[in-house]
């Protein structure tokens, strides 16, 4: 089978190679999955470049956090899946390969539906649920405010918040995405401003002065501080990404006068608070919503394995150059 293999740290084009490996044979309790689609995340790129704290434990390795595929072989003792079943492998199975061999006990059944959209559920879906549930007690009618609102996570949050009766005020950089986010269920979509006070005023107007307990920041840099300005006194700002590549910067006057709490978020932490049944229940629901088309993401491009270097270059770009997620189709 063909697979991508990371052999060092650096420019993805230099350190990730397309290799041919022996087809895997499932051991007892394992299954082999033929991958249909595998999402590329910014974290994959960070793993390749080897940025601080994104260095993986051992090289060489097959990258890929998530994806969707169909079972082609089952090992001895596997009863929950049969050949042909559509499944999601668990986190970090190494999905940038034609075939993935993995223990069956964590693999989850997947619905029929658009493989490209479903290939994004695992990481962004769980992150969105954790962000909505773990940091503030949101009641129906409450508002939350988020930046990077055209990101996949943020788009999931728009839909999941709406389902709970929670309204979203969404900050974007490009006016072109406003209509799409509104169609998705965004209650308010506003343009970003470099001036925190101007932005906060726009947010205040869009939310009719409602109390904003929760601000979600996936941009970092000065955007973290702008988010602190937007939330209400005593509010919490949760950072879960750093699209800007800059450390989060929060002005003293927001920390002090407004008693802001600023925290980081990781899906691993949120998942550790939930047992496996709860996690599976979350995924079952997310998968159904995505399959039905209720949660949909803009797809910037799909690439076969032999164009992985192009795919990674595309995934590392932002704004108009990458209008959505980049997906690998390992068997295309």
Partner 1 sequence: MKALQQNAYGAPADVTALVDLPEPVAKAGEILVEVEAAAMHLADLKFINGDAGFRYFTFPRICGHEGIGYVIKLGDGVTDYKVGDRVFLPIGSGTFRQRLAVPAADCPPATAGDAKQLALTVINGMTAVILVDDYAAALKPGDWILQNGANSSCGRYIIKLAHDKGLRTCNIVRRASLIPELKALDADQVIVETGDPDKTAELVKAATGGVELSIGFDCVASTGTETIGRCLVRDGTIVNYGYMTGKNCEVSFQDLFRKHVKLVGMSMQSPRTKDQRKVVYAKLAAMIAKGDLKAKIAATYTLDQIQVALAHQAKTGDDRQGKIIILPNG
The answer to whether 5 and 16 have CB atoms below 8 angstroms apart is: yes
256 binds partner 1 (CB under 8 A): yes
263 binds partner 1 (CB under 8 A): yes
**3 state DSSP class of 55:** coil
DSSP H helices in 185-221: 196-206
Query: Which range, of 27-35, 65-73, 83-91, 249-257, touches partner 1 by CB under 8 A?
Result: 249-257
The count of chain residues that interact with partner 1, using the rule CB under 8 A, is: 32
The least distance separating partner 1 from the CB of residue 225, rounded to whole angstroms, comes to 6
How many CA within 13 A on the CB side of residue 253? 5
215 binds partner 1 (CB under 8 A): no
175 binds partner 1 (CB under 8 A): no
Task: Report which DSSP code applies to 89.
Answer: P
Say how far apart CA 267 and CA 80 lie, in whole Å: 27
Q: Identify which of residues 29 and 221 has a Cβ nearer to partner 1 in the complex.
A: 221
232 binds partner 1 (CB under 8 A): no
The least distance separating partner 1 from the CB of residue 137, rounded to whole angstroms, comes to 18
Residues 84-143 that bind partner 1 (CB under 8 A): none
The least distance separating partner 1 from the CB of residue 59, rounded to whole angstroms, comes to 20
174 binds partner 1 (CB under 8 A): no
Find all residues with CB under 8 Å of 65, minimum gap 6, and list them.
39, 41, 43, 44, 91, 92, 95, 122, 123
Query: Which range, of 115-123, 173-181, 221-229, 278-286, touches partner 1 by CB under 8 A?
Result: 221-229
- Of 259, 278, 306, 321, which one interacts with partner 1 (CB under 8 A)? 259
- Of 27, 105, 257, 317, which one interacts with partner 1 (CB under 8 A)? 257
- Of 260, 290, 311, 327, which one interacts with partner 1 (CB under 8 A)? 260
Find all residues with CB under 8 Å of 164, minimum gap 6, and list them.
132, 138, 140
- Of 5, 6, 232, 239, which one interacts with partner 1 (CB under 8 A)? 239
262 binds partner 1 (CB under 8 A): yes
Q: What is each CA distance from 41 to 104, 118, 279, 316, in whole angstroms?
A: 24, 14, 21, 9
Q: Identify which of residues 174 and 253 has a Cβ nearer to partner 1 in the complex.
A: 253
Question: Whats the size of the chain, residue-wise?
Answer: 332
Q: Which tokens go with 322?
A: 């990458």
Query: Which range, of 101-109, 138-146, 216-224, 276-284, touches partner 1 by CB under 8 A?
Result: 216-224
Give yes or no for a cis peptide into 169 (omega within 30° of 0).
Answer: no
- Of 248, 289, 295, 327, which one interacts with partner 1 (CB under 8 A)? 248
Find all residues with CB under 8 Å of 196, minimum gap 6, and list them.
222, 225, 226, 228, 229, 230, 251
- Of 49, 261, 284, 331, which one interacts with partner 1 (CB under 8 A)? 261
249 binds partner 1 (CB under 8 A): yes
| Binding letters toward partner 1, positions 177-206, x by CB under 8 A | -------------------xx---------
222 binds partner 1 (CB under 8 A): yes
The least distance separating partner 1 from the CB of residue 106, rounded to whole angstroms, comes to 23
The answer to whether 267 and 126 have CB atoms below 8 angstroms apart is: yes
Q: What is each CA distance from 5 to 34, 224, 304, in whole angstroms?
A: 17, 35, 15
Query: Cα–Cα–Cα angle for 213, 233, 221, nearest 5°?
Result: 80
Which of 217, 216, 149 has the alpha carbon at shortest distance from 179?
149
Give the residues lining the site for partner 1 (CB under 8 A). 52-53, 196-197, 220, 222, 224-225, 239-240, 242, 247-266, 269
């Amino acid at each position: 089978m063909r697979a991508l293999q990371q052999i060092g740290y650096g420019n993805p084009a230099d350190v990730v190679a397309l290799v041919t490996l022996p087809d895997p044979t499932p051991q007892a309790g394992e299954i082999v999955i033929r991958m249909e689609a595998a999402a590329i995340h910014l974290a994959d790129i960070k793993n390749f470049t080897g940025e601080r704290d994104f260095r993986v434990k051992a090289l060489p390795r097959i990258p890929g956090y998530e994806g969707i595929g169909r079972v082609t072989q089952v090992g001895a003792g596997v009863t929950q899946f049969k050949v042909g079943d559509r499944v999601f492998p668990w986190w970090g199975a190494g999905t940038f390969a034609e075939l993935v061999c993995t223990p069956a006990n964590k693999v989850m059944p997947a619905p029929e539906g658009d493989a490209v959209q479903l290939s994004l559920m695992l990481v962004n879906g769980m992150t969105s649920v954790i962000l909505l549930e773990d940091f503030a007690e949101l009641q129906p009618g409450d508002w939350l405010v988020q930046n990077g609102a055209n990101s996949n996570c943020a788009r999931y949050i728009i839909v999941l918040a709406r389902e709970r009766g929670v309204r979203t005020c969404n900050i974007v950089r490009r006016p072109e995405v406003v209509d799409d986010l509104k169609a998705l269920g965004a209650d308010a979509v506003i343009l970003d401003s470099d001036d925190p006070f101007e932005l906060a005023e726009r947010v205040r107007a869009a939310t009719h002065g409602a109390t904003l307990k929760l601000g979600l920041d996936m941009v970092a840099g000065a955007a973290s501080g702008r988010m602190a300005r937007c939330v209400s006194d005593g509010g919490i700002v949760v950072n879960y990404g750093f699209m800007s590549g800059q450390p989060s910067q929060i002005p003293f006057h927001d920390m002090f006068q407004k008693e802001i709490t600023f925290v980081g978020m990781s899906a691993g932490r949120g998942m550790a608070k939930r047992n496996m049944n709860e996690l599976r229940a979350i995924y079952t629901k997310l998968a159904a919503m995505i399959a039905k088309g209720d949660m949909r993401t803009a797809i910037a491009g799909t690439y076969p394995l032999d164009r992985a270097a192009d795919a990674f270059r595309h995934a590392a770009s932002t704004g108009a150059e990458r209008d959505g997620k980049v997906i690998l189709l390992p068997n295309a």
